[in-house]
Structure 1
Amino acid sequence: MKPILEYKDYRLYIQDYYDERKRLGAFSWREFCKSAGFSSPNFLKLVCLGESRLGSQKVESVADAMGLVGYEKDYFRVMVTFCNAKKDPVKKAALLEMDKIAREHKMRVVDGETFQYYESWKYPVLRELVPMMPGANPRDIAEECKEHVSAEEVRDILSFLVKAGFLKKDGDKVYSQTEQNVIGSNEALPIAIRAMHKEMANMAARAVDRYSPSERYFTGLTIGVNEEASKRIVDEINACCKKVLSIANEYDDSDQVCRVNFQFFPFTDKIKEASHA
């Protein structure tokens, strides 16, 4: 069975624990539930099937039944909070706490770096900008940004990007991009990217008035679609993104950092088939 620090879903951990105990000898859901203080003989099975969830008041007893102590018990407790949370801020806080526990016990995870990279426009923008400005000091770099960023922030972000492997330092104040992609767990990336989408959408809204039409390009459509058309449109947008990236990569003399947003979202609920006559 994997160490608990490799899990992000407490249901999978409980299921794996049960399977391991079952493999080693006689063990049943009834016995497991009884040792955890449940009157229902199959409650934990229903939890693992996603048909119920473990409440916060029973976390300690389930952890005790599985023999978890110390940091493993702490990690399990936070993992339950993460899986049961409905709001992104709560889920993010729990993931970062899980990341902290894992780091303290010598297991590298990248969710903390994922959140940091996506927490502000400054990280991806500076990753693109800095290689264009060999020899520039942090203040020079900061002054090239349309949105405010301080020289001290630039210095700190550069340190992070190098440490995390997103930039490589080739000499004094000379950087180049690596092939490192921003990675994280399936649980962390959606939360982090949603936060970035919100920030970039807000910046796009400001750009409508901030820049002249010759400096920016905005267009949009309001259209009726069905499920098949919706899927084809999403596929087309993904293909367009790849084409845009391919065009940008054809040139080695980039001198500006820009952002491309594609936004496709519903304005209405799906219309029921009932007559509206």
Structure 2
Amino acid sequence: MMKSVVEYKDYRQYILDYYSERKRSSAFTWREFARLAGFASGSYLKLVCDGKTRLREEGAKKTALAMGLLGFEYDYFILMVRYESAKTDREKKKCIEEMQALSDAHHVKVLGSDLYTFYETWKHSVVRELAVAMPGAKPNEIAKVCRPAISAADVSASLSFLTKAGLLTRDIKGNYHQTNRSLTTGRLNVVAVAVHSLLRQMGEFALEALDKLPISERHFSGITMGVTAESYEKVVEELKECRKKIVSIVSVDKKVEKVCRLNMQLFPLTENINKGSKESGKGE
């Protein structure tokens, strides 16, 4: 039996699962599916599932009805389609919030929603580290060492969320422990919107650190370089490996002295030149 639509975050996967379920018990075809949804092309929905095209709003409505979706399930399916078409993070966030509201109202948890909440603000990642590094500390004590400062109420709310989400556990002595030493977003598209928000916040903190902290307490460096598509991908892979190595270094620490943030940023400063020229990088 298929899962409820509100347990999905990818409308293509839901369409594919619906088709597979119908196909298992009948001679259902992509052509028949397209006909029921009112599409002229018999292969249209298969192309959608293959990622070669996408549903538009009107097409989403016809497809939802063809799959027998009504009420909140119909609304949820439309929101999944609308999320993919959204142009801005604000629009994507609105879709996610409405999807979560529908799932909450019908007692179903959206996969990845806890991670979405975790990455939406920097506070959760910092409190998650401090809660373990400061055993027995009260929320106001944790709040005082945060930079920028946050309230004890913020810390309490974060601890409550982290525990409920299973990102922290609490032993009989009241001390917190991390269920996983490190976290990654993996391939969760829903989480990406919240990660964008977190990266912006951390970028702003980096600018503040550049102005306010002495060189002994922060390390900033960069390279301006000419690249090809091939060398760009190699650099990205090297950064991924570097990140993994750094995680392995800090993971063996038994006692934390402070919580730091490492930003890894690689972005273009020009449009594609298309002349095939290569320039050596220069450190800054």
Same fold (TM over 0.5): yes
Show the counterpart of 1:231. 233
- Decide whether aligned partners of structure 1 residues 58 and 143 sit closer, same or farther in structure 2, where only a CA change above 3 A counts: same
Deviations 1:18-66 (A, max 9, x none): 4443443344555444443445555444544445443323443332222
Distance 1:210 1:193 in 2: 25
| 1:12-27 map, 5 Å | 12-27=13-28
Show the counterpart of 1:55. 56
- Decide whether aligned partners of structure 1 residues 60 and 228 sit closer, same or farther in structure 2, where only a CA change above 3 A counts: closer
Range with bigger deviation, 101-110 or 126-135: 101-110
Offset, 1:183: 5.8
Show the counterpart of 2:116. 115
Q: Which AA in structure 1 matches 2:94?
A: A
- SS of the residue aligned with 2:225? coil
Show the counterpart of 2:255. 253
Q: Which AA in structure 2 matches 1:115?
A: Y
- Decide whether aligned partners of structure 1 residues 274 and 152 sit closer, same or farther in structure 2, where only a CA change above 3 A counts: closer
Distance 2:93 2:6 in 1: 17
Distance 2:149 2:24 in 1: 59
Identity of matched residues, %: 43
Contact 1:96 1:112 in 2 (8 A): no
Bigger relative contact order, structure 1 or 2 (CA pairs below 8 A, ≥6 apart): 2
Deviations 1:143-182 (A, max 9, x none): 1112021111111111111111122222465322222746
Show the counterpart of 1:91. 92
- SS of the residue aligned with 2:159? helix
Show the counterpart of 1:209. 211
- SS of the residue aligned with 1:202? helix
Distance 1:185 1:96 in 2: 19
Distance 1:241 1:18 in 2: 40
Distance 1:240 1:188 in 2: 26
- SS of the residue aligned with 2:114? helix
Offset, 1:213: 0.8
- Decide whether aligned partners of structure 1 residues 134 and 232 sit closer, same or farther in structure 2, where only a CA change above 3 A counts: same
Distance 2:273 2:63 in 1: 45
Give the length in aligned residue pairs.
275
Contact 1:99 1:111 in 2 (8 A): no
- SS of the residue aligned with 2:55? coil
- Decide whether aligned partners of structure 1 residues 210 and 46 sit closer, same or farther in structure 2, where only a CA change above 3 A counts: same
Q: CA RMSD in A?
A: 2.8
- Decide whether aligned partners of structure 1 residues 15 and 224 sit closer, same or farther in structure 2, where only a CA change above 3 A counts: same
- SS of the residue aligned with 1:214? helix
- Decide whether aligned partners of structure 1 residues 225 and 57 sit closer, same or farther in structure 2, where only a CA change above 3 A counts: closer
Distance 1:113 1:103 in 2: 13
Q: TM-score, normalised by structure 1?
A: 0.85
Matched, 1:129 2:130: yes
Show the counterpart of 2:281. none
Show the counterpart of 2:201. 199
Question: What runs of 5+ residues in structure 2 fail to find an aligned partner?
Answer: 278-284
Q: Which AA in structure 2 matches 1:24?
A: S
Distance 1:66 1:110 in 2: 22
- Decide whether aligned partners of structure 1 residues 152 and 172 sit closer, same or farther in structure 2, where only a CA change above 3 A counts: farther
Range with bigger deviation, 9-18 or 36-45: 36-45
Show the counterpart of 1:66. 67
Offset, 1:10: 2.3
Question: What runs of 5+ residues in structure 1 fail to find an aligned partner?
Answer: none
